[in-house]
Chain A
Amino acid sequence: EVHLVESGGVVVQPGGSLRLSCAASGFTFEDYAMHWVRQAPGKGLEWVSLISGDGGTIYYADSVKGRFTVSRDNSKNSLYLLMSSLTGEDTALYYCARWRGTGGLDHWGQGTLVTVSS
């Protein structure tokens, strides 16, 4: 069974940095691209970033480009999101999700909450 578990969400001050992790199990991690998607409180879904299975292709939303860095360690079945220069607009529940190509984002974690506040 596919399982995705995010961690690392905390309360952080504006301008601070944070690294989120996503632990994957139940599938061959390196065979799949992975995404980060976030959802601000009471708001809709916002795509954040994509990283290919081998880590060689990476894309970011304009809202986070230059501040967030996505990476993965296939030996540890783990996905990461390093976030810096955080502002209140980055306050959200952050989900990792598996991408099945034309099959869409077929499995999601339960999310980890990041709150940017002084």
Chain B
Amino acid sequence: SYVLTQPPSVSVAPGQTARITCGGNNIGSKTVHWYQQRPGQAPVLVVYGDSDRPSGIPERFSGSNSGNAATLTISRVEAGDEADYYCLVWDISIDHYVFGTGTKVTVL
């Protein structure tokens, strides 16, 4: 089955940039979505279609996807960005959706 690997944790100081990777075989050929999940809350879509933002999501959130890794970038990090982040793709070869392993972002 298709595996998406994310770093377990990323720590960043306020105002700095956090980059969260989602690694998968030839993921650049797939469409990646990113979700933010704050403690005790349901996930929220922050980036869809590799790099688009839903309405209401700050421009500080951006995404890219190429080769074997997709990246979610959070610029000018704020305390409220502290959460778990997950990537999601559709594996057409087996008709399955796959979530990444998740990354906990800590704001120092």
Contacts and interface: CB of A to CB of B under 8 A. Distances in A.
Interface of A: 35, 37, 44-47, 50, 59, 61-62, 95, 97, 100, 102-106, 108-111
6 contacts: A45-B88, A45-B99, A47-B98, A47-B99, A62-B96, A106-B54
B39 to A, nearest CB: 11
The 10 closest A-B pairs by CB, nearest first: A104-B33, A104-B48, A47-B97, A44-B102, A108-B42, A45-B99, A59-B95, A102-B49, A103-B48, A104-B45
Given A45-B35, A62-B1, A103 B49 contact: yes
Interface SS of A by simple majority? strand
Nearest to B34: A104
Query: How many B residues touch the partner, as a band?
Result: 20 to 34
Interface SS of B by simple majority? strand
Interface of B: 1, 31, 33, 35, 37, 42-45, 48-49, 52, 54, 84, 86, 88, 95-102
Contacts, number: 59
A105 B45 contact: yes
B103 to A, nearest CB: 10
A102 B52 CA distance: 10
A92 to B, nearest CB: 13
Given A44-B84, A104-B48, A106-B48, 12 more contacts: A37-B99, A44-B101, A45-B99, A47-B97, A50-B97, A61-B96, A100-B48, A102-B49, A103-B48, A105-B45, A105-B88, A106-B45
A110 B102 CA distance: 19
